[in-house]
Amino acid sequence: MCRTGHEPDPSDPDNGEASSAAFASLLEDSAEELYESAPCGYLSTLMDGTICKINATLLGWLGLERASVVGRLRFTDLLTVGGKLYHETHFAPLLRMQGRISGIALEVKQADGGRIPVLVSSVVKHGSSGEPLLIRTTVFDARDRRSYEEELLRARKAAERAREQAEADRARLQDALAVLQQSLLPADLPSVPGMEAAAHYRTASPDRLGGDFYDLFPSDGKSFAFFLGDVCGKGPEAAAVTSLTRYTLRAAAAHDPDPVAALTTLNQALHERYNGSDPRYCTVIFGTLEPDTASGKVTVRLASGGHPPALVLRADGTADFLPTPGGLLVGILPTASFATATTVLGAGDTLLLYTDGLTEARTGEDRSALYGDEALRALAASHAGESPQAVVEALAALLDGFGDGLDDDTALLALGVPAPAPTHQATS
Amino acid sequence: MDVKRRNNVTVTGNPLGRTVLLAHGFGCDQNMWRHTLPALVDDYRVVLFDYVGSGRSDLSAFSEDRYTSLDGYATDVVEICEALDLRDAVFVGHSVSAMIGVLAAGRVPSRIGALVMVAPSPCYIDEEGYRGGFSAEDIDELLTSLESNYLGWSATMAPVIMGNADRPELGEELKNSFCATDPDIARIFARTTFLSDSRQDLKGVGVPTLILECTQDVIAPREVGAFVHQAIAGSTLITLDATGHCPQLSAPEATNAAITDFLARLR
């Protein structure tokens, strides 16, 4: 590009004449001509910003005469007010500190009131002893680029608004889900005369809708009923089944608190509702508590539909499963049989109900082993004789320890007869 | 909370000298004082810092709530004074920092014993009976300019900028880093600065005060310098033969002479 044209390329004789003409026309492009008519604006200012030289291109963009600019205006006079502020707070300090600055987006004002977005670069020319002499500045027309950038900025702002909206929607949805979830569980456990009760619930699903459920409620004048179960699946579909299950059992118990009768009613309701292409079922233990005010003992009668057996923690420090073999999943067949069991809780005994989220938690380094029934029984034994609250807290701590090994929802319900208070042992 | 780390506090100069606190304004960081420092280090203990959100401060300490008022920035100054247990220090504030210094001095009078206000303005927007030089629309234009210029800022560059204060070999990479600011933070600082009105606070200044203004300053025109001078009883106003808003960079000798002369008289 910088060849002079005096010596046309001898290896290319055919084009020699044409090249000569081209180079000759380049000769016409003197440095002065290049400066004045360059496709960018040039200006030079004193260190205080006073314009001492400016090219025709820039004057043309500004719509100003040379005589009204040179020696009369400062560079900042060409800028919009916002540009002036930016120049003073960023551009000028950086130019002073670095001696150069490039690609700064500003706007210049035109004589007719218009504005041109430009990209500005400046460099300080120093004298022989290093003192700053003047500032050389190039100005590029950035109209197209600026409109493109504005599009990008607009798009970014729109995306930002959409994100904020999405977050707000999400928060609202979570609140709504939390309300629904709360409708599936008792807000508080009622106080049962002569007994203590404690419960814990943990959902593994990100939308906080679980498929486990439990309840404890008065069934007639002196006895109470309870249930705890697990609907197959997770999330909203499971929650819908949970809702139907919970309120069916409550209604069934009001009609007839007998455990087998309640589960039979539930089986019919679930089977009738979910007998199509999307069968839904659950496992559940339903039971009644009959306190004997004379002895302080409580008779527990329960029935299980395919649910893991309850654990009984005795005051003597033992813990054993209360087997309920053979009970069928609830809701899967038109008619189902359920296994029943009975036990009596004395002072210091606790009945523990749980869902398989606990026993099927993945443990070990690689999360491949399951926690298991025996580990649960052994842990329960180590807490036998403690209050239901203490037992539930110990198991909640265990669940915490599982971390990401906990795949499924987990519900715990512990019902116990307080031990005769020895000394200062707060159990409530 | 480690205030010194949070505000990238640098302590230099003569440990036996009176403490001079150099506070940068909106836009860049403590590097704004690079030509001022040599004039002070022999006789004074000099404290430099970056406001939270600027320079190499801890960006995680930035909160929109705190820094939407100049009081939030003044709290930075107060906390630095307390962390270093400064007594009777001289606060040199550039631009909006001059007003931040006024607020801080009012809150910890025993710690700040004199003020140097470099190109101050207590109110940038014109009001009836007061000419600050700008309209609210002008400030919106500045915010647009901020959006169009990231000055080397990018989220991926931030850790480099923040973590390498002592590695000048990164110079080329860090081009413009003195003014590189998270755009969201810059926008908040700009709004806080240019929409502030501290005119009423000037009356409460009770310490020796030097006001430095420039002959040609778009941001703090001479009427504003006169207003500040008149509002602070006993203040000294010096008009530097300098253009622009940063005399410490454009006319360092004159600026340094005015500051050191003022400091010498305090003794």
Judge whether B121 counts as a catalytic residue: no
Average pLDDT over residues A387-396: 94
Which are the contacts of A256, defined by CB distance < 8 A and separation ≥ 6?
Answer: A262
B145 touches chain A (CB under 8 A): yes
Read off the CATH number of the domain in which B117 is found: 3.40.50.1820
| Domain-embedded: residue B150 | no
* Min Cα–Cα distance to chain A from B34, Å: 9
Question: Which residue is closest to B171 within chain A, CA to CA?
Answer: A98
Cα separations in angstroms, A182 against A178, A179, A201, A213, A293: 6, 5, 11, 11, 33
| Domain-embedded: residue B176 | no
Question: Which residue is closest to B180 within chain A, CA to CA?
Answer: A90
Of B135, B176, B242, the CB nearest to A94: B176
| Domain-embedded: residue B145 | no
Percent of chain B with pLDDT over 90: 73
Supply the Cα-derived Rg of chain A in whole angstroms.
42
> Is the pLDDT confidence value at B137 over 80?
yes
* Min Cα–Cα distance to chain B from A128, Å: 19
> Is the pLDDT confidence value at A22 over 90?
no
Q: Do B34 and A88 touch (CB under 8 A)?
A: no
Tokens representing B161 are: 């900028």
Length of chain A: 428
Average pLDDT over residues B15-44: 95
- Name every chain B residue with its beta carbon within 8 A of the beta carbon of A89: 25-28, 95, 219, 245
Q: Helices B96-107 and B70-83, interaxial angle, to 10°?
A: 60
Tokens representing B229 are: 């001078």
- Grade residue A12 by pLDDT with cuts at 50, 70 and 90: low
* Min Cα–Cα distance to chain B from A104, Å: 6
* Min Cα–Cα distance to chain A from B242, Å: 8
| Domain-embedded: residue B37 | yes
Counting one residue from A and one from B, how many pairs have CB atoms under 8 Å apart?
Answer: 95
A148 touches chain B (CB under 8 A): no
Contact B103, B72 (CB under 8 A): no
| Domain-embedded: residue B206 | yes
- Name every chain A residue with its beta carbon within 8 A of the beta carbon of B194: 85
| Domain-embedded: residue B113 | yes
Amino acid identity of residue A111, one-letter, is A
Interface mutation vs chain B, best among A50, A90, A146, A147, most B CBs within 10 Å: A90
Q: What is the pLDDT of residue A15?
A: 58
Q: What is the pLDDT of residue A17?
A: 67
Of A74, A96, A101, the CB nearest to B249: A96
| Domain-embedded: residue B16 | yes
Percent of chain A with pLDDT over 70: 92
Judge whether B245 counts as a catalytic residue: yes
Q: What is the pLDDT of residue A409?
A: 83
Got the DSSP string for B28-51?
Answer: S-GGGGTTTHHHHTTTSEEEEE--
Q: What is the pLDDT of residue B181?
A: 80
Length of chain B: 267
> Is the pLDDT confidence value at A378 over 90?
yes
Cα separations in angstroms, B88 against A412, B36, B44: 65, 20, 13
A155 touches chain B (CB under 8 A): no
pLDDT one-digit tens code per residue, B139-188: 888 887 777 776 555 554 444 444 444 444 444 445 566 777 888 888 89
Distance CA B49, CA A283 (A): 66
Catalytic residue among B54, B57, B95, B198, which? B95
Residue B56 phi, psi dihedral angles, 5° rounding = -105, 30
- Grade residue B226 by pLDDT with cuts at 50, 70 and 90: very high
Give me chain A's average pLDDT, please. Answer: 87
pLDDT one-digit tens code per residue, A220-257: 777 899 999 999 877 778 888 999 999 999 999 998 98
Q: How many domains does chain B have?
A: 1
Residue, of A153 and B134, whose pLDDT is higher: B134
Which are the contacts of B141, defined by CB distance < 8 A and separation ≥ 6?
Answer: A80, A81, A82, A83, A85
Tokens representing A162 are: 């959409």
Computed from CA positions of residues A376, A378, A382, A386, in that sequence, does the dihedral angle turn out positive or negative? Answer: positive
pLDDT one-digit tens code per residue, A330-366: 988 888 889 889 999 999 999 999 998 888 888 877 7
Continuous segment of H or E residues that includes residue B200: helix B199-202
B216 touches chain A (CB under 8 A): yes
pLDDT one-digit tens code per residue, B59-111: 899 999 999 999 999 999 999 999 999 999 999 999 999 999 999 999 999 99
> Is the pLDDT confidence value at B47 over 50?
yes
Continuous segment of H or E residues that includes residue A161: helix A143-183
Supply the Cα-derived Rg of chain B in whole angstroms.
17
Of B135, B141, B243, the CB nearest to A80: B141
Tokens 């199509």 correspond to: A276
Q: Do B151 and A74 touch (CB under 8 A)?
A: no
Q: Do A94 and B25 touch (CB under 8 A)?
A: no
Q: Do A88 and B244 touch (CB under 8 A)?
A: yes
Interface mutation vs chain A, best among B36, B134, B140, B145, most A CBs within 10 Å: B145
- Name every chain B residue with its beta carbon within 8 A of the beta carbon of A106: 145
* Min Cα–Cα distance to chain B from A64, Å: 22
Give the residue among B122, B140, B139 at the shortest CA–CA distance from B130. B122
Q: What is the pLDDT of residue B145?
A: 77
Average pLDDT over residues A75-87: 91
| Domain-embedded: residue B139 | no
- Name every chain A residue with its beta carbon within 8 A of the beta carbon of B143: 82
Distance CA A164, CA A7 (A): 67
> Is the pLDDT confidence value at A428 over 70?
no
Q: What is the pLDDT of residue A289?
A: 95
Tokens 């218009």 correspond to: A114
Q: Which domains does chain A have, with CATH numbers?
A: 38-141 (3.30.450.20), 185-416 (3.60.40.10)
Judge whether B241 counts as a catalytic residue: no
A24 touches chain B (CB under 8 A): no
Q: Do B145 and A83 touch (CB under 8 A)?
A: yes
∠A142-A146-A150 over CA atoms, to 5°? 180
Which residues span the domain enclosing B240? 3-122+196-266
Q: Do B145 and A149 touch (CB under 8 A)?
A: no
Question: Which residue is closest to B95 within chain A, CA to CA?
Answer: A89
Average pLDDT over residues A150-163: 91
| Beta strand spans in A195-297 (E) | 196-202, 212-218, 224-231, 282-291
- Grade residue A31 by pLDDT with cuts at 50, 70 and 90: confident
> Is the pLDDT confidence value at A30 over 80?
yes
- Name every chain A residue with its beta carbon within 8 A of the beta carbon of B142: 81-82, 85-86
pLDDT one-digit tens code per residue, A83-136: 898 899 989 998 998 899 988 888 999 999 999 999 999 999 999 998 999 999
pLDDT one-digit tens code per residue, A179-230: 887 788 888 999 998 999 999 998 776 666 778 899 999 987 778 999 999 9
Amino acid identity of residue A346, one-letter, is G
- Grade residue A5 by pLDDT with cuts at 50, 70 and 90: very low
Interface mutation vs chain A, best among B24, B28, B134, B148, most A CBs within 10 Å: B148
Using the CB atoms, write b or e for B142-158: b if 16+ within 10 Å.
Answer: bbbbbbbbbbbbeeeee
A106 touches chain B (CB under 8 A): yes
Q: What is the pLDDT of residue A8?
A: 46
Cα separations in angstroms, A327 against A135, B167, B209, B247: 92, 74, 90, 89
